[in-house]
Amino acid sequence: MKMSIGQIGRQLLGFAVAGMALAAGGTAFAEMGQPVPWEYKLQEAATPVMENITWFHNFLSVLITVITLFVLALLVIVVVKFNSKANPVPSKTTHNTLIEVAWTLIPVLILVGIAVPSFRLLFLELDVPTPDITIKATGKQWYWSYAYPDNGKFEFDSLLDKDKAPRLLGVDNEMVVPVNKVVRIQTTGADVIHSFAVPAFGIKIDSVPGRLNETWFKATKTGMFYGQCSELCGKDHAFMPIAVRVVSDQEFATWVDGAKKKFATNPANSYASAGQVAQ
């Protein structure tokens, strides 16, 4: 069926409006610390480190775009101006001091402009400030165990709960942390190498058997934030999510009191009790 220009225009406008609505909805969901359909950017930042990562990502995207357009413009100029038809007698110029200095100096300045914020970001990520709370995360095949040595030394397992949303990210026992507090994560692996990663926090660190690695975050927003093991660790690698619930100081204190009682009488869950883990 043929369509008029007006109909095509109205259809394109409808697609544009739908796209903007989807983008707006995606932004709203992204604030919840989980992936969303058709997401084209990083998750909404929930920590100062992730805010810096997002800024650096956007800075590099703009820089790469400008360089690409500049090179494309040079190629177009060469094709149009220096083809055999437009320039039948080619120039025999072999040296140009200004151009040679420029194509040496400009890339150096670009690399320095990238290196300075890059090193600053690396220092921010690796320099762990004085923590308000320490949590030990142990990667196991295929679930996580969390210990709170600063809050009563209780420990519990966190297993995939297939009945919870979002799909493949909901767990039975979430890691709970207070908002606006420096949380130090110490992580290791009990069997093979795992990787502890939460995109909205800007953290990703390997959990290596026999080694204790550490990272940190300071969540500035309350809510649920999700991550996953990011190291291929076996057949159920895709089924060991990370769920972090950020709450107020009062809610955290209440949760700690309940967790001490719950996990003192009901110690860390064993893998054998994880019947809900996807096979």
pLDDT per residue over 55-73, tens digit each? Answer: 999 999 999 999 999 999 9
Dihedral of CA atoms 265, 271, 272, 275 in degrees, nearest 10, equals 100
**Is the pLDDT assigned to residue 5 strictly greater than 60?**
no
Same domain for 52 and 99, yes or no, is yes
For residues 118 and 143, membership in a common domain is answered with: no
Whether pLDDT at 271 is above 80: no
Q: What is the CA radius of gyration of the chain?
A: 26
Per the structure, the complete domain to which residue 90 belongs is given by: 48-126
For residues 170 and 264, membership in a common domain is answered with yes
Give the residue from 126, 155, 170 where a domain finishes: 126
Where is pLDDT greater, at 15 or 37? 37
Residue with tokens 């025999």: 92
Measured distance CA(166)–CA(229) in Å, rounded: 16
Share of the chain above pLDDT 90, in %: 74
On whether both 105 and 221 belong to a single domain, the answer is no
Contacts of 141 (CB under 8 A, 6+ apart): 190, 191, 192, 233, 234, 236, 271
pLDDT at 175 over 60: yes
Per-residue pLDDT band for 101 (boundaries 50, 70, 90) equals very high
> How do residues 242-259 score in pLDDT, each as one tens digit?
999 999 999 999 999 999
* pLDDT value at residue 241: 98
Asked whether residue 25 is assigned to any structural domain, the reply reads no
Helices (H), 82-177: 97-126
Does residue 189 register a pLDDT over 50?
Answer: yes
Averaged over 208-217, what is the pLDDT? 98
The pLDDT value given to residue 14 = 52
Contact 199, 128 (CB under 8 A): no
Q: What is the pTM of this model?
A: 0.81
Q: Given a cut of 80, is residue 112 above it in pLDDT?
A: yes
**Do residues 221 and 179 lie in contact, with contact meaning Cβ atoms separated by under 8 Å?**
yes
Number of domains in the chain: 2
